Chain A
């Protein structure tokens, strides 16, 4: 029920926050929505969005930190996600029986780890006897520090007080933390969430790093699609950190230290880099003093510098054929601009026409008529939205059908989109759906909270959630052909497929 799952592939983030990439209501709806929304910025730069929705005595909290795997460099890949795990480990007052003693023990763990790491990475690979001794010392130091731990106290408090949906997720663009509580316990959340980012103690770091390695083995290494996607993004991007896996490379997971994670936290977890949405049975005027009280404790800090690397134009078509003992899978990605680009709505419309539902072109061609695929889809924002990213085609060939067949059928649909205007019905469908999906996205506290925080971070204004629908309303058939012609060219493309043994 309260299983803690984490988000690694940003397309999962997108699926989870489905309505977010979809559109909005009409102007008067924005106006009525706005009446129940309070935006409040603390002096330290932290932004709160409070939406009063008294349908049931519960409240959902969603903290969106504007840092993801895209802020990592080689050597520390996986660190944004690693910190997210550590943000459940408690503080100097939560999760410990004796902080002063534990602090000393943790310093010894750091020391022992570095001694071991130095020996392990020494030229020639380190002396086996020394390594064994250092391993033993590292293990002992950890055991000593563990003696002061109250295991999982942070999660236990929330659990015990009736919290549900406690979880977090890391993507290429963002790290998010969320749960819901009965409406009378807002102060508990304010206390815990502010403590968590004011005063985190990264205890059990190296055990948790083992857990993350298991997570990598589980999601990336032991799944054919996981293996393929890692190869695919690394090839599609020449320079931009979107090429790096959110979970991190095994070598980096085996190397980075507790101090690395703490340094990463200090740079990125500054209040001005965070947005928190609160949605449910609360009154903004009642809780703002509480928010001031607890969250003003977070010290202001400089907003992290912008990412320097911009993906250079793609000059070559790229192809990956990954032999695998499983079944064929086909991916085809095209570079596209960031979600903040004026053509974003056109890209959304393209994906919608190609891929949403049984009337979509990919379904009708590949699944219904040619019967060569069990599933075929296209979506934007892979692996993130904030920077130029990919429009991704994904197909699962039916038994007896090959990647080449689905490729040919996808290309056929792409050519049609470039050369013929879409129909009136299709255009109408895209626009109606955009409005309806926005409405549907407003049906739950958690859905509203996640979208508000996401849009506020990405665009600097949560109202863009509604304006996106207005932009889709303005998309024309010509826009679609123009964008399709500019995007769907061979040099802008990366293809990846699983080839089965017989085809190798």
Chain B
């Protein structure tokens, strides 16, 4: 039915057809008129006296002007222990205001004009872009110039950028594609290479405002900047404006950094990262690629087109269409401007097809060497590149961007025109030769991310497996360094004994248990919630905590290596990991430290002097059964501060915990802190006010017994 109805329709269409166009039966019958003549607009290039190079291209289609700066610098040139510095510099350059205007004022200024200024950092270049309606150019350009020349790097904006950077670190293992891309890069370039190293909590924490200032001062000079102007403007008036805002920017030292270092030797092998919350294996393999300046660059582009660059490429056809193994499959020899790119091939496939997929990818890589492109494949690849060539010139902004890019990387200005000729010249023999030279199956690092328990065959089928650990290193310990000498240890023991006397009283040794109750206030984003908490701690390792909040009552009991929780009448055992975590918190609890101060396993080392809220105290590092914390003890033995690597009780995220004790009052000859503030990573999360405190209360064993479910 369907067929016959369509047949009638075709008859009708043919009968009614306008005579102007002949009906074709195949696309091969179509003849094309010549491509309309097209004069590629040429940007005007002017260099200001201070060395600032300006490329201008007028385009009056829309009443807009875009100005972009490319600056010779990059994250490749930041110190390894401050990885992230260049990126943060570029971020805060925009948000942190200028000598003339605060960051917030700039935000408002741009928003009412529907204008934008954005800055950013790459490996070997930085950028700053502005985009505004043409009438607003003079005033927006002034702000743009200030952001380039005199950024203020306000510290509060650096803090926001750091929060965002830490968020990215915390979440970097949530996305399996990101893991695969990043870790392959690290395998190929080496994890210490600027091309592959990670921002970490520690490297972010190490970055200061002074670092941003110094980084900016080092690189942001007019003679290191290329400026592109495109849109609806009058060139002479624009040059005058540019002279006004950039003319007195003094020249600085020329950029003279060597290209980024990377590991030259291949690292062949099989690497595995476990990720169990996925239904696919993420597969990637690679080794070093080539540089743009390589004369084989053009033949490699044709090779890429045949291998994985299009719908008709071998990988797309064989692995996606014929085998149905993947949605996304890729393979290409990458080229870099100042350092080699990466030959990278990969895909994602369901876990029980992992082995088949690895084989399929390897087959294609070996295949391109053993069976170099046929004349048909070669012709298709070259035509595809050449026929789409006009799209390199389809917007003024693109033309301008390319010209600046070539100048920046020292490629000839006619690179694109020669590109065309160079592609035309590529022969089948060239492609066969470059396949052999730049695809090296024996040097591949093979990385598989997924759940090995569900693979169709063991990963070791492909060689000995190295398991990579991608656990995110916890935030650095920002507590002061304490040097362990005999003298410091003696002083430490004495100081701890004094602290024990202050909190435990003269008969501290007789303390067996302490019960207390407090009101806790949790701060959450400007809002707060109060709850009651009562604790019973029986030395050395039993604790019972009852927390009452508007959400109900929660009881947590830890007894040695066992633990359970009661909530809403439901009894739930606590997982071993949680009991362990609670026990390590307990070993750091001030009450436990005091009770066990004479324990042979207790190590106490005194450090230097410090101030807490203006009160002098002595730093005391205590290690009790591997749990480390740092106290600051006042002359009278009261502990004013305790800090350690712990977890945020509200989120469970790791962080630097700081407890500040104050409002000490005397109870039965003991100094008890009535107020305790908890900070995590410098942010206040909880305040407790003590309501009762009893030493050696009667202990009802039933309180520690697990109720029937």
Question: Interface on A for B, CB 8 Å cutoff?
Answer: 1-5, 54-58, 88, 93-94, 146, 151-164, 166, 180, 182-185, 187-188, 191-192, 198-199, 204, 206-215, 217-218, 221-224, 266, 281, 289-290, 292-294, 296-299, 324-328, 357-359, 366-368, 370-372, 374-375, 396-402, 404-406, 408-409, 412, 425, 428-429, 432-433, 435-437, 439-440, 442-445, 500-503
- A327-B174, A359-B111, A401-B525 are known contacts. Are A159 and B384 too (CB-CB below 8 A)? yes
Q: How near does chain B come to A332, taking the closest CB pair, in angstroms?
A: 14
Q: How near does chain B come to A126, taking the closest CB pair, in angstroms?
A: 20
Cβ proximity bits B510-549 to A, threshold 8 Å, 1 near / 0 not = 0000000000000011110000000000000000000000
Of residues B276, B316, B391, which shows the largest number of chain A Cβ atoms within 10 Å of its Cβ?
B391
Q: Which of B26, B38, B171, B322 contacts A327 (CB 8 A)?
A: B171
CA distance A54 to B386 in the complex (A): 21
- A151-B322, A183-B36, A187-B21 are known contacts. Are A372 and B525 too (CB-CB below 8 A)? yes
Tell whether, in the assembled complex, residue B324 and residue A208 are in contact, meaning their CB atoms are under 8 Å apart: yes
| Set of chain A residues within 8 Å of B160, measured between Cβ atoms | 367-368, 371
Interface size class of B (residues with CB under 8 A): 35 or more
Tell whether, in the assembled complex, residue B321 and residue A152 are in contact, meaning their CB atoms are under 8 Å apart: yes
Q: Which of A206, A290, A398, A406 contacts B166 (CB 8 A)?
A: A398
Which chain B residue shows the least CB distance to A446?
Answer: B394
Interface residue stretch chosen among B3-11, B50-58, B631-639, B701-709 = B3-11
| Set of chain A residues within 8 Å of B170, measured between Cβ atoms | 327, 399
CA distance A458 to B14 in the complex (A): 32
CB-based closest 8 A-B pairs: A162-B387, A502-B652, A155-B311, A210-B324, A436-B114, A405-B525, A156-B312, A374-B167
8 additional contacts (CB under 8 A) given A370-B525, A425-B108: A154-B311, A157-B27, A162-B390, A183-B35, A207-B322, A299-B6, A367-B160, A371-B160
Of residues B8, B166, B394, which shows the largest number of chain A Cβ atoms within 10 Å of its Cβ?
B394
Which chain A residue shows the least CB distance to B231?
Answer: A443
- A4-B311, A221-B278 are known contacts. Are A374 and B164 too (CB-CB below 8 A)? yes
Q: How near does chain A come to B500, taking the closest CB pair, in angstroms?
A: 32
Tell whether, in the assembled complex, residue B394 and residue A2 are in contact, meaning their CB atoms are under 8 Å apart: no
Which chain A residue shows the least CB distance to B648?
Answer: A400
Question: Interface on B for A, CB 8 Å cutoff?
Answer: 2, 5-6, 8-10, 13, 16-18, 20-21, 23-27, 30, 32-36, 38, 61-64, 95, 104, 107-108, 110-116, 131, 133, 159-160, 163-164, 166-171, 174-177, 276-280, 282, 309-312, 316-317, 320-328, 330, 348-350, 380, 383-384, 386-391, 393-395, 524-527, 578, 647-648, 650-653, 655, 680-681, 683, 685
| Set of chain B residues within 8 Å of A359, measured between Cβ atoms | 107-108, 111
Q: Which of B111, B163, B311 contacts A166 (CB 8 A)?
A: B311
| Set of chain B residues within 8 Å of A94, measured between Cβ atoms | 27
Of residues B104, B280, B525, which shows the largest number of chain A Cβ atoms within 10 Å of its Cβ?
B525
CA distance A160 to B104 in the complex (A): 51
- A359-B108, A366-B525 are known contacts. Are A58 and B391 too (CB-CB below 8 A)? yes
Q: Which of A214, A294, A440 contacts B350 (CB 8 A)?
A: A214
- A156-B380, A359-B111, A432-B112 are known contacts. Are A222 and B176 too (CB-CB below 8 A)? yes
Which chain A residue shows the least CB distance to B529?
Answer: A404
CA distance A161 to B379 in the complex (A): 11
| Set of chain B residues within 8 Å of A185, measured between Cβ atoms | 32
A-B contact pairs, 14 of them (CB 8 A): A2-B311, A55-B61, A162-B383, A183-B36, A213-B350, A217-B278, A223-B176, A371-B160, A404-B524, A429-B112, A429-B114, A439-B133, A444-B395, A503-B651
| Set of chain A residues within 8 Å of B30, measured between Cβ atoms | 187-188, 191
Q: Which of A180, A187, A375 contacts B391 (CB 8 A)?
A: A180
CA distance A428 to B115 in the complex (A): 13
| Set of chain A residues within 8 Å of B115, measured between Cβ atoms | 436
| Set of chain B residues within 8 Å of A500, measured between Cβ atoms | 651-653
Q: How near does chain B come to A447, taking the closest CB pair, in angstroms?
A: 11
- A217-B350, A400-B681 are known contacts. Are A328 and B651 too (CB-CB below 8 A)? yes
Tell whether, in the assembled complex, residue A218 and residue B280 are in contact, meaning their CB atoms are under 8 Å apart: yes
Q: How near does chain B come to A430, taking the closest CB pair, in angstroms?
A: 10
Q: How near does chain A come to B98, taking the closest CB pair, in angstroms?
A: 15
CA distance A299 to B159 in the complex (A): 63
| Set of chain B residues within 8 Å of A436, measured between Cβ atoms | 114-115, 133
Q: Which of A198, A223, A399, A437 contacts B653 (CB 8 A)?
A: A399
Tell whether, in the assembled complex, residue B391 and residue A218 are in contact, meaning their CB atoms are under 8 Å apart: no
| Set of chain A residues within 8 Å of B648, measured between Cβ atoms | 400
Tell whether, in the assembled complex, residue A400 and residue B680 are in contact, meaning their CB atoms are under 8 Å apart: yes
CA distance A57 to B39 in the complex (A): 10
Tell whether, in the assembled complex, residue B32 and residue A187 are in contact, meaning their CB atoms are under 8 Å apart: yes
Tell whether, in the assembled complex, residue A400 and residue B683 are in contact, meaning their CB atoms are under 8 Å apart: yes
Tell whether, in the assembled complex, residue B111 and residue A443 are in contact, meaning their CB atoms are under 8 Å apart: no
Tell whether, in the assembled complex, residue B174 and residue A215 are in contact, meaning their CB atoms are under 8 Å apart: no
| Set of chain A residues within 8 Å of B167, measured between Cβ atoms | 374-375, 396-399
Tell whether, in the assembled complex, residue B2 and residue A266 are in contact, meaning their CB atoms are under 8 Å apart: yes
CA distance A377 to B386 in the complex (A): 42
CA distance A400 to B62 in the complex (A): 46
Q: How near does chain B come to A419, taking the closest CB pair, in angstroms?
A: 17
| Set of chain B residues within 8 Å of A217, measured between Cβ atoms | 278-280, 348, 350
- A183-B36, A408-B525, A436-B133 are known contacts. Are A56 and B393 too (CB-CB below 8 A)? yes
Q: Which of A211, A296, A404, A502 contacts B17 (CB 8 A)?
A: A296
Q: Which of A56, A155, A182, A435 contacts B114 (CB 8 A)?
A: A435
Q: How near does chain A come to B683, taking the closest CB pair, in angstroms?
A: 7
Which chain B residue shows the least CB distance to A440?
Answer: B64
CA distance A435 to B113 in the complex (A): 11
Which chain B residue shows the least CB distance to A266?
Answer: B2
CA distance A146 to B10 in the complex (A): 28
Q: Which of A357, A370, A439 contacts B63 (CB 8 A)?
A: A439
CA distance A289 to B167 in the complex (A): 57
Q: How near does chain B come to A319, taking the closest CB pair, in angstroms?
A: 13
CA distance A157 to B26 in the complex (A): 11
| Set of chain B residues within 8 Å of A188, measured between Cβ atoms | 27, 30, 32
Q: How near does chain A come to B648, taking the closest CB pair, in angstroms?
A: 5
| Set of chain A residues within 8 Å of B159, measured between Cβ atoms | 371
CA distance A404 to B526 in the complex (A): 11
Tell whether, in the assembled complex, residue A326 and residue B171 are in contact, meaning their CB atoms are under 8 Å apart: yes
Which chain A residue shows the least CB distance to B449?
Answer: A222
| Set of chain B residues within 8 Å of A289, measured between Cβ atoms | 18, 20-21
Tell whether, in the assembled complex, residue B175 and residue A164 are in contact, meaning their CB atoms are under 8 Å apart: no
Tell whether, in the assembled complex, residue A155 and residue B328 are in contact, meaning their CB atoms are under 8 Å apart: no
Which chain A residue shows the least CB distance to B683?
Answer: A400
CA distance A501 to B651 in the complex (A): 9
Tell whether, in the assembled complex, residue B16 and residue A432 are in contact, meaning their CB atoms are under 8 Å apart: no
Tell whether, in the assembled complex, residue B310 and residue A159 are in contact, meaning their CB atoms are under 8 Å apart: yes
Q: How near does chain B come to A495, taking the closest CB pair, in angstroms?
A: 16
Q: How near does chain B come to A295, taking the closest CB pair, in angstroms?
A: 9
Which chain A residue shows the least CB distance to B132?
Answer: A436
CA distance A215 to B177 in the complex (A): 13
Tell whether, in the assembled complex, residue A3 and residue B6 are in contact, meaning their CB atoms are under 8 Å apart: no
| Set of chain B residues within 8 Å of A433, measured between Cβ atoms | 111, 114
Which chain A residue shows the least CB distance to B647?
Answer: A502
Tell whether, in the assembled complex, residue A292 and residue B18 are in contact, meaning their CB atoms are under 8 Å apart: yes
| Set of chain A residues within 8 Å of B326, measured between Cβ atoms | 211, 214
Tell whether, in the assembled complex, residue B64 and residue A439 are in contact, meaning their CB atoms are under 8 Å apart: yes
| Set of chain A residues within 8 Å of B168, measured between Cβ atoms | 374
Q: How near does chain B come to A40, taking the closest CB pair, in angstroms?
A: 12
Q: Which of B9, B18, B278, B388 contacts A164 (CB 8 A)?
A: B388
| Set of chain A residues within 8 Å of B325, measured between Cβ atoms | 210, 214
| Set of chain B residues within 8 Å of A223, measured between Cβ atoms | 174-176
| Set of chain B residues within 8 Å of A180, measured between Cβ atoms | 391
Which chain A residue shows the least CB distance to B390?
Answer: A182
| Set of chain A residues within 8 Å of B63, measured between Cβ atoms | 439
| Set of chain B residues within 8 Å of A156, measured between Cβ atoms | 310-312, 380
Which chain A residue shows the least CB distance to B5?
Answer: A299
Q: How near does chain B come to A434, taking the closest CB pair, in angstroms?
A: 8
Q: How near does chain A come to B686, taking the closest CB pair, in angstroms?
A: 12
Tell whether, in the assembled complex, residue A3 and residue B279 are in contact, meaning their CB atoms are under 8 Å apart: no
